[in-house]
């Protein structure tokens, strides 16, 4: 795949001609609702074998080869140039395909109400081939250790047909919010724990879950070691039942990070006990906060680099959002919440408002501004091919286990094409 950023004057025909592909191939890959109305700044994935690279200041065949894992001699041969040919800035080189690292991929899916919507069902069906794990969110633990199941529809069949492993997500959600009191009971009351673990194992066996994933959030800081001990107990019982165990971790940058979301999550202990962890590396920009990138690459890297001091790389799944937000300006604490939108919806909105999409190179994220019909100024941050490629590059650089998406049901076709282009996806069989 090649990423192309739309420039003024571009058309799908001219882009296709430039890359030696077809109008229909680009249109299909990007699921364009109106292919004859591109947005300046919009990123497209171009379905070609390998990719093109445009020479930058200071580049050489040797430095470019190191970047892409190809020898300078091979680059010279493929591009029919001498290895000693000076490279001018802007010169286009063809980069051949290279071996893909193998990773695991998880995606949460969150059905609401009593039934699974057609959109969620179709999203699970469409994206299951790219998944190692499919994680219905969520089974709510009660104060007596029972499990309240979400609507599961035909997720088990979808997972089985696509060789994806079902993940049983257990949370301390109560009445729509993570409950510190419920969490405290779950990690301190041994009778409740025994009942909960028995119910988890029975549910996993009956439905076909093979990983149990604990997402206990906003636990009281005083219960950090209680949570660790609960996980040790859970791991022993789950392993005896032939089940994997994983956990979700708040995005910390030190062991002493303060805050109700962070203190009870002990990276070192989770890294020791769990089979793998999911870092929730998103929501820097969130619906109730000021406008900014949801998962800016700098803060994401900071979390991962700290995690690597406590947890082996082969146990770390990078969390990644499949959505963005539309904020109404000016931001006021406690004011209007930002509206969530998919990457495809963000592009359509920019087109409808006739504004160009900009790109923040520091955050590695696209954004734009517009003014609505009522005269309100808006700021939109979302994900595109460039921002997701930056996360894939981070996974490769640091040798992480894989990536975990929150959440299915939001259209982002470029992500799945680039995922398949960058990695071989492990299926647990």
For the record, the structure tokens of 422 come out as 């960058």
Residues in CB range of 294: below 8 A, 6 or more apart: 282, 283, 284, 285, 286, 321, 323, 324, 325, 365, 381, 382, 383
The closest of 428, 296, 265, 427 to 365, measured between CA atoms, is 296
User: Is 217 part of the annotated catalytic residue set?
Assistant: yes
Task: Identify the H or E element spanning 380.
Answer: strand 377-381
**Cα three-residue angle 345-350-355, rounded to 5 degrees:** 175
The DSSP annotation for 275-327 comes to: SEEEE----SS-TTS-S--SS-HHHHHHHHHHHTTTS-GGGEEEEEES-EEEE
Strand order in the sheet with 339-341: 339-341, 324-328, 377-381, 365-371, 358-360
**Of the residues 97, 100, 114, 217, which is catalytic?**
217
Residues in CB range of 53: below 8 A, 6 or more apart: 64, 68, 92, 93, 94, 95
For the record, the structure tokens of 340 come out as 């969530």
- 51 vs 361: CA distance, rounded Å: 21
In the DSSP assignment, the letter for residue 87 is P
65 with 98: CB under 8 angstroms? no
Task: Identify the H or E element spanning 158.
Answer: helix 155-161
Helix spans in 23-102 (H): 23-30, 61-68, 72-78
The catalytic residues are: 217
């Amino acid at each position: 795949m090649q990423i192309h950023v739309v420039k003024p004057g571009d058309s799908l025909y001219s882009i296709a001609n430039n890359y030696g592909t077809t109008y229909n191939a680009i249109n299909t890959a990007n699921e364009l609702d109106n292919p004859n109305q591109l947005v300046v700044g919009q990123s497209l994935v171009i379905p070609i074998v390998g990719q093109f690279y445009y020479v930058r200041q200071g580049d050489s065949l040797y430095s470019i080869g190191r970047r892409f894992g190809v020898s300078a001699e091979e680059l010279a041969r493929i591009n029919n140039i001498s290895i000693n040919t000076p490279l001018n800035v802007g010169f286009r080189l063809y980069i051949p395909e290279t071996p893909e690292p193998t990773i695991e991929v998880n995606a949460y899916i969150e059905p609401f109400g009593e039934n699974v919507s057609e959109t969620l069902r179709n999203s699970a069906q469409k994206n299951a081939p790219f998944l190692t794990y499919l994680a219905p969110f969520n089974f709510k633990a009660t104060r007596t250790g029972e499990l309240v199941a979400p609507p599961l529809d035909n997720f088990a069949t979808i997972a089985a047909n696509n060789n994806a492993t079902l993940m049983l997500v257990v949370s301390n959600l109560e009445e729509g919010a993570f409950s510190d009191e419920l969490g405290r009971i779950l990690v301190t009351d041994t009778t409740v724990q025994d009942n909960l673990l028995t119910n988890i194992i029975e549910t996993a066996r009956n439905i076909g879950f093979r990983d149990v994933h604990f997402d206990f959030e906003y636990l009281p800081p005083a219960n950090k070691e209680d949570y660790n001990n609960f996980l040790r107990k859970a791991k022993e019982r789950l392993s005896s039942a032939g089940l994997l165990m994983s956990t979700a971790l708040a995005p910390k940058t030190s062991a002493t990070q303060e805050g109700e979301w962070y203190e009870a999550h002990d990276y070192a202990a989770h890294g020791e006990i769990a089979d793998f962890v999911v870092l929730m590396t998103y929501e820097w920009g969130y619906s109730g906060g000021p406008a900014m990138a949801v998962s800016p690459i700098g803060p994401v890297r900071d979390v991962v680099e700290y995690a690597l001091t406590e947890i082996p790389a082969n146990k770390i799944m990078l969390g990644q959002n499949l959505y963005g937000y539309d904020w109404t300006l000016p931001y006021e604490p406690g004011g209007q919440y930002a509206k969530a939108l998919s990457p495809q919806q963000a592009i359509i909105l920019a087109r409808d408002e006739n504004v160009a999409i900009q790109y923040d190179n520091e955050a590695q994220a696209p954004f734009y501004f517009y003014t609505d019909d009522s005269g309100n100024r808006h700021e939109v941050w979302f994900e595109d091919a460039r921002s997701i490629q930056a996360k894939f590059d981070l996974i490769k650089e640091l040798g992480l286990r894989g990536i975990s998406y929150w959440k299915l049901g939001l259209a982002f076709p470029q992500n799945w094409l680039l995922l398949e282009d960058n990695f071989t996806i492990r299926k647990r069989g």
